Structure 1
């Protein structure tokens, strides 16, 4: 594998953007694909197992949000330090992720293990699916510190221009999980039949394996970080810098998790099949959203480096190129789902009721991509600039001021179809004020270019 460190400030923008984002997209897609496969196996096991997994999803999304937010903050800060040639600060940033992943992982896993049942009920678990949800959630908790470490290191690898190393780590995690899940769920060969607990155990093993590989890449001699023991000591000013960008990203993901909780609670009032449908929809839509997230992750270090090096014309053009490509991905994805919605629904389950719910939800939900794609690129631009507060306010406003009211109001008018309509409508309305804020930032770039 070619793991040459890229120069983020030189060369044609499109090839560099594709080289930076390509591995992230591939890594995100492979993780989304294997999340989809997990949903496939559990849906084949039973609709209750699929519903139990869906109930756990927003809790895991909270954990993922904390890990991603911290990683984004560390990656954004490190990229800006590389651009400004402050190499010591970049290396110290890499050292902080070990302390943060261990401390946060142990703390959050401890909270869940102290009271799993009440937490799951808060997130919408009914008495019927609570035992399965609890079994999955408790089993997956030991992997949380390793999950955090993977997310943080992967952002650091992208920040120094090594997206291929980040991609390979994620590929490895997905491959381990994909191999183990059917073996442990169904008890194939010498493996015990653990059903939903087997899916959780496969996840933990894959996370530990991926964390070890990520650490290997970070401490290689070819790395710009040149990690030393002294860099691992807690450094409060750098931790503050990490969270000045990363904390808003954490808040964003917490609000997204709250949206998932509301979806679960509302759909639980219809049936467990409706909750299972939501799990399928989120994972199917996640294939494309993960592609867009990967593209955004490739964009962030380019923005951060260009801002640190005062290359404003290059920064502006990079963002505009990313927006055009993301919109193209969204349009093609929507067209594909409109054509193949029935086939996708029948792939997951032989249950006619679940198929019918899934087909309708797919056709409606995927429309959100048309406005979510450019919005996500602009949000990543703000994060790359270190303006995490702006990104947070834009996305939190989308959910709290638009999505949540729609989730409460639309089902009264359109029934369960109203639940599927809420996301596309919320993203369309949010697009307008995100575009307004982005235009203001563009004018700032243009004024600096004129100076």
Structure 2
């Protein structure tokens, strides 16, 4: 197993960006396959079991927002410290991740156990599926601290130039869960039949396994973190630095989730087919966004390291290459969808009306790719620079100032197509603000370059 860290200070940018990005792309694919396998086995158990799993998804989105947001803050700070050769502060960041995983995990376990029925009912659990949902949630809760640790450690691995370790942890988690799911759900061999609790138990065991592997990697001699027990003592200055970037990222994830819920609400006023169409469009968009998110994940620590090392030329070159690559991928995907939208729609359903709605929705909604690709790279640039507040203002502003009003204003004029138009239009307007802010940052880099020369 190669644990050598990538050198982010020297060498060609493009190969480094690809080396930083592809493990993230593979990781997202693995995680998506894991979710599909989980849904597959529970669907074979019963439709109510699958519904109970679906009810828990918003809770998992919230957990993901907290874990990923904290991890982004920790990764950005650690990469900047490595770049500035403040290695002790970077190593202490790894210790804070363990502390934060434990504290946040305990907080969410307490909240979940205090009022599971209230939480699940709020997210849509009916009287029929509430008992199943409760059993799933209560069994799942002990794994939350380990889930947080995996999410946060993943960003630490990227920060030290070992993104392949993120993929190994994801593979471990998914493989353990994939093996245990049918065994514990249906009681294969000597194991008892646990039903939906078996799926939750498989998830907890897999999260413990992934967290243990992450701990092993951080303790290796080849790791830049050289984790020591005294690094686990809370350092509130480092924690504040983590959340100066991480907290805005958490808000971004939560607001984006709110936008998804609002889409569901608006489309529910048309028909169940309209909601089903959104599900298809979301899955197709998610598939296309995997490489774009992967490139963004690879770019962020490169920006942070270059910022810490005072290498503005290298930083700007990395961002420029990431923007070009992501835009090329987005354009290819956009053109394919525009040309083959009806054929793509046939893959998901035999219902002619659903096919028609899906083809139209794909063609309109995928216009978002043209502006989303460069916007995503610039947002990751801001996060890498530790400017989490700027990223939050730009993305939350898009949702609140543009998307929500468009979802209210466009449907009366354009019907259901107005719903599909809302996101591309909101993103196009937000793109102009993100571009302005990115150019403003570029001018600051130019000033630094002139000062150095």
TM-score with structure 2 setting the length:
0.88
SS class of match (2:366) = helix
Number of residue equivalences: 451
CA separation in 2, counterparts of 1:359 and 1:36? Answer: 24
Q: What are the equivalent positions in structure 2 for 1:345-356 lying under 5 Å apart?
A: none
CA separation in 1, counterparts of 2:106 and 2:362? Answer: 37
Match status 1:374 vs 2:374 = yes
Match status 1:387 vs 2:351 = no
What does residue 207 of structure 1 align with?
207
Q: What are the equivalent positions in structure 2 for 1:108-119 lying under 5 Å apart?
A: 108-119=108-119
What does residue 235 of structure 1 align with?
235
CA separation in 2, counterparts of 1:355 and 1:185? Answer: 35
CA displacement at 1:142 relative to structure 2: 2.6
What does residue 91 of structure 2 align with?
91
Structure 1's unaligned 5+ residue stretches are none
CA displacement at 1:430 relative to structure 2: 1.3
After the TM superposition, which of the residue ranges 368-377 and 91-100 deviates more from structure 2?
368-377
CA separation in 2, counterparts of 1:311 and 1:71? Answer: 24
In 2 relative to 1, CA 38–267 (structure 1 residues): closer, same or farther, beyond 3 Å?
farther
CA displacement at 1:106 relative to structure 2: 1.8
CA separation in 2, counterparts of 1:129 and 1:273? Answer: 23
In 2 relative to 1, CA 117–288 (structure 1 residues): closer, same or farther, beyond 3 Å?
farther
After the TM superposition, which of the residue ranges 194-203 and 279-288 deviates more from structure 2?
194-203
Q: What are the equivalent positions in structure 2 for 1:133-152 lying under 5 Å apart?
A: 134=134, 136-152=136-152
Q: Is the CA contact (8 Å cut-off) linking 1:334 and 1:367 kept in structure 2?
A: yes
- Note the alpha carbon deviations across 1:108-138, whole angstroms, 9 max, x for none: 2322333334334444556676566555544
What does residue 107 of structure 1 align with?
107
What does residue 261 of structure 2 align with?
261
Q: Is the CA contact (8 Å cut-off) linking 1:29 and 1:291 kept in structure 2?
A: no
In 2 relative to 1, CA 261–432 (structure 1 residues): closer, same or farther, beyond 3 Å?
same
CA separation in 2, counterparts of 1:209 and 1:312? Answer: 40
In 2 relative to 1, CA 390–184 (structure 1 residues): closer, same or farther, beyond 3 Å?
same
Q: What are the equivalent positions in structure 2 for 1:268-307 lying under 5 Å apart?
A: 268-270=268-270, 275=275, 277-307=277-307
SS class of match (2:367) = helix
In 2 relative to 1, CA 92–378 (structure 1 residues): closer, same or farther, beyond 3 Å?
same
- Note the alpha carbon deviations across 1:336-379, whole angstroms, 9 max, x for none: 44456566656566777766665554444333222211111000
CA separation in 2, counterparts of 1:349 and 1:125? Answer: 27
Match status 1:436 vs 2:441 = no
What does residue 19 of structure 1 align with?
19
Match status 1:404 vs 2:404 = yes
- Note the alpha carbon deviations across 1:52-100, whole angstroms, 9 max, x for none: 5554333321211111111111111111111111111111111001110
In 2 relative to 1, CA 100–272 (structure 1 residues): closer, same or farther, beyond 3 Å?
farther
In 2 relative to 1, CA 92–327 (structure 1 residues): closer, same or farther, beyond 3 Å?
same
TM-score with structure 1 setting the length:
0.89
CA separation in 2, counterparts of 1:195 and 1:358? Answer: 35
Structure 2's unaligned 5+ residue stretches are none
After the TM superposition, which of the residue ranges 229-238 and 201-210 deviates more from structure 2?
201-210
In 2 relative to 1, CA 59–225 (structure 1 residues): closer, same or farther, beyond 3 Å?
same
After the TM superposition, which of the residue ranges 207-216 and 40-49 deviates more from structure 2?
40-49
What does residue 177 of structure 1 align with?
177
CA separation in 2, counterparts of 1:132 and 1:307? Answer: 49
Q: Is the CA contact (8 Å cut-off) linking 1:267 and 1:275 kept in structure 2?
A: yes
In 2 relative to 1, CA 213–415 (structure 1 residues): closer, same or farther, beyond 3 Å?
farther
Rg larger in structure:
2
